[in-house]
Chains A and B, each alone.
Chain A
């Protein structure tokens, strides 16, 4: 069974501060995929990134960066120099190689204050 844990329920920061969201996962699959989605107040889930279990290279995309560590089963996400528009709920998700469903964490609500 797949399980995703996002221990942080809410994070509140002032604009321009960095925000790091933690995600810890459990799976018995040797091949699996990790995702981050953003859900703004409008409700639509927006895809941010996908990583497969064989690719531990960390990535930076603009103000977003991801840190994938198989040794600790973690897939953390950082927003650098946060902006008010980053305010949303962020979900970490996991799927196995033969399991096409996404298993989501409970989400972390990020509030960026001006």
Chain B
């Protein structure tokens, strides 16, 4: 196990609703990244947080937002849910390396279903 935890495990929402997903990073890690994994596809980068600030964002609309807290845990918020938001949402924690290429350790994911 990586020590990265996510909650909830599963979630069912209806179109138009809002959702908050939570992630606790591995002890000693200061960076959290979020990924969306649609069924049968590879994970897609949503954004990354380092020391409570967004540090890079993928090709996702502004209704995807996040937070990182002083203890390095993080939240992913999605507003105005759409059917295509149904996916496995993965959180990964890492210890930032200025050279890049830090190993990212993933949590078990939150399975979101939008009806």
Contact = CB atoms under 8 A, between A and B. Distances in A.
Interface of A: 4, 31-33, 35, 37, 42-47, 50, 52, 91, 93, 95-107
B106 interface: yes
B43 A102 contact: yes
Interface in B6-44: 31, 33, 35, 41-44
B99 A100 contact: no
A101 B90 contact: no
Contacts of A44: 2, 106-109
Interface of B: 2, 31, 33, 35, 41-45, 48, 50, 55-56, 58, 88, 90, 92, 94, 96, 99-109, 111
Contacts of A47: 2, 103-106
Main secondary structure of the interface of A (DSSP, over half): strand
Top 7 nearest A-B pairs by Cβ distance? A33-B101, A104-B42, A45-B106, A101-B45, A97-B100, A44-B108, A43-B109
Contacts of A4: 42
Contact of B88 (A35, A43, A105): A43
Contact of B42 (A42, A97, A107): A107
Nearest to B102: A100
A35 B102 CA distance: 10
A5 to B, nearest CB: 11
A97 to B, nearest CB: 4
Nearest to B109: A43
